[in-house]
A and B are shown apart, each in its own frame.
Chain A
Amino acid sequence: MILMSNNETSTAGLEESGVTLSDARLVEDVRRGDHDAYGGLVTRYERRLIGVILRFVHDTELARDLAQETFLRAFERLDQFDPSRRFGPWLFRIGVNLALDYLRRKKPRGWTSLFSEAGSDKSPDPSTADPRKEIDLRQEVQFVLEQIPEKYRTVLILRDLENFSTSEIAAIENRKEATIRWRLAEARSRFQKLWVKRNLNPDVVDSYLGDEEFTDELS
């Protein structure tokens, strides 16, 4: 591997003799056949990636499997990656899309999902007459998020739960930053309306969701 200059800021994991390798350099090394270079990229991003995917799927082992698949797909498509761009957003786009695709195929939307696979890490007490009284804030937020259309939920998760900037989300989603800001505003408004109504009868919320017009935003 070729090393970067000593001026580079170091980050976790990828240093040799106090010198840190850039993502671009590692990608180039992988393309030249250096196995360890890809290991460098995996170890640099894996925890962050698993954490983000976990926000979508709420199951640690599943998040790890999807993160692993993300690295496999990224490797397979490395020849499509434009080295003048940033590797992180490109990788996270693959990961988020994998998580969303999994949810589209597997996850039932609506009230039942909270207590099925989505709540698998924290199951409510089955002896409780109304388990919704027992759910904690995390589950309550998760439950409301599930009622929000995917493109808005994704922005909320990335911005307000995972603290990516709007420009980073724009890079992940391959959209204009103005579009992401519009989606963020819309997502927070939808979350707010559902949050207020969250203690109402599920049928009331369902009818509210049914009436909601899902207008689209800027391009």
Chain B
Amino acid sequence: MSCHDFQHKLALLVGEELEVDEAIAARRHTAQCPACRETLKQLSESWTALRAVGETPTEVKGGSLWPRVRAQVFPATVGRPQRDYPSWMPTATLAAACVALLIFVGSTPMLDNHAETASFVDPSFQLNLDETVDPAMYRNRAPVPGGMWSLSTVGQEHHGFGSPPSAVQHAGFGGFNEL
């Protein structure tokens, strides 16, 4: 293996990302090669600077994005209560409708009053209670200009999740914390 090949390995050696046998071979070579030894020293210094910055987490200010995201993806629901209705409300609405129906069926002279009762039960209100919002209806939003990327499926199964080398452990920031 040439010095050039070793120097690529050394870049992974500083982050302890080489397999054990590769790391042993790289260290053995640097022990007898002044040029690679100097490269390793410089790699260690520059990598240490990178890691020092990496270990200072970025300061993420501000509250949750969810209210703003929700206003854009579910505009129809903004300003309307989502789940702040009592649990008995759907039952009560159904009961009121049944009562109205019974009155309507049982008493023909009540026809004129029926219109009034029917308008009281707002169909859109019932829809909201059911929360049957189809996300597909929001996908018709005009595309945002600025380029599209291949968003095909993630091409890799995940290996070694959350197992960065011990030297670069970064509390609270390893992995996605995905479930």
User: A residues engaging B (CB < 8 A)?
Assistant: 4, 8-9, 11-12, 14, 20-23, 30-31, 33-36, 38-39, 42-48, 50-51, 54-55, 60, 63-64, 67-69, 71-73, 75-82, 84-90, 92-94, 97-98, 101-102, 105, 137-138, 140-142, 156, 159-168, 170-171, 174-177, 181-182, 184-189, 191-192, 195-196
Contacts and interface: CB of A to CB of B under 8 A. Distances in A.
B132 A163 contact: no
Q: Which of B8, B77, B168 gathers most chain A CB within 10 Å?
A: B8
Contacts of A86: 154, 158, 176, 178
Contacts of B52: 137
B66 A46 contact: yes
A20 B139 CA distance: 28
B79 interface: no
Contacts of B133: 33, 35
Interface residues of B, number: 77
Interface stretch (B27-35, B100-108, B159-167): B159-167
Given A69-B144, A188-B11, A192-B46, A23 B66 contact: no
A43 to B, nearest CB: 6
Contacts of B56: 138
Contacts of B155: 170-171, 174-176
Contacts of B160: 165, 167
Contacts of A186: 8, 11
B110 interface: no
B152 A42 contact: no
Q: Which of B42, B82, B135 gathers most chain A CB within 10 Å?
A: B135
Contacts of A137: 49, 52-53
Given A72-B144, A89-B158, A171-B155, 5 more contacts: A81-B151, A105-B146, A177-B156, A177-B159, A195-B45
Interface in B135-179: 135-136, 138-139, 141, 143-144, 146-147, 149-156, 158-164, 168-170, 173-179
Given A23-B178, A159-B15, A75 B159 contact: no
21 contacts: A21-B179, A42-B66, A44-B177, A75-B73, A81-B153, A86-B158, A90-B153, A93-B154, A94-B149, A141-B50, A160-B54, A164-B174, A175-B156, A184-B17, A185-B11, A186-B8, A186-B11, A188-B15, A189-B7, A189-B8, A195-B45
B153 A165 contact: no
Interface string B1-44: 00000011101101101000000000000000000000100110
Contact of B138 (A12, A75, A160, A167): A75
Interface of B: 7-9, 11-12, 14-15, 17, 39, 42-43, 45-47, 49-54, 56-62, 64-66, 68-70, 72-74, 77, 82-83, 131-136, 138-139, 141, 143-144, 146-147, 149-156, 158-164, 168-170, 173-179
